[in-house]
Structure 1
Amino acid sequence: MTRDRVTEIVERLVLPIVEREAVELVDIEYTKEGKNWYLRVYIDKPGGVDIDDCSRVSEQLSEELDRVDPIPNAYFLEVSSPGAERPLKRPADFERAVGRYVHVSLYEPLMGAKTHEGTLVSYDGERLILEIKRRSKTVTLAVPMEKIAHARLALEW
């Protein structure tokens, strides 16, 4: 079974759980590290999630995964917060990030670079407008969504 198929199935199983627990599903990863497989589910809520939130979602999801058994090999299930540098994937993620400092990786260079960090000024569904610092001045950069490989919140130093 492909990784995408596993994450699709897990998403269908976890959505009713996160809704019941009043948390948001941020991301799902199914990845191999060394010889082990990991199924990681990232959740969040305003003010952040705590260990009890993660535990409740993990227990319920584990029961559903045992019942449906969609993953043929052994794996470790981890449910946690996405952390301070949470990924931005869905339109709602970008909308919520307006005004925040972000890191964007691109498929091809813009302004001579494939990565940019700056304040997300706006998002209209088709492009991001970033304010980035270049030497001693601030520059505005329009980034088409189709050029974005990965985006996440970033810590500003």
Structure 2
Amino acid sequence: MVSIDIDASLFWQIGNFLLLLVALNYLLYRPIRGILRQRAEKVAQLNGDITSSEEGAKAKAAELEANLVQARRDGAEVREEIKNQGHGTEREIIDAATAEMEQTVANVREEIVGEIGQARQDLKGQVQSFGQELAQKLLGRSLQ
């Protein structure tokens, strides 16, 4: 059987064990805990940066969307304004063309009226000779 004697070597072993604990604490455990603490702080800082970056990106996206909506609204207003200007110009061109056409029609009517008057004058002058020729053809002899 094994027997344990309590003597001075037990105190030396307990002393060595405590000395080893203190040495390991200073040399190994504290630096590792410090590194782990720094790492946790860095992760927390990076998480904060990520959160602020996401919020900034969301704000930028909302601002861009608002700018896009405003640009579309401005574009629609400009398009309407140009369309209205086009309709005004179209109306002016149509009015000018209508006035020109009415003037041309009036000139043609005047020419026709003048030609009809001239034709009547010519026919009035020739009615006498037509009448004589018709009578000669109907009678079959000369009227003179």
**TM-score range, shorter-chain basis?**
under 0.3
User: More helix by proportion, 1 or 2?
Assistant: 2
Q: What TM-score do the two structures reach when normalised by structure 2? A: 0.15
For the pair shown, which has the larger CA radius of gyration, 1 or 2?
2
User: More strand by proportion, 1 or 2?
Assistant: 1
Q: Which has the higher contact order (CA 8 A, sep 6+)?
A: 1
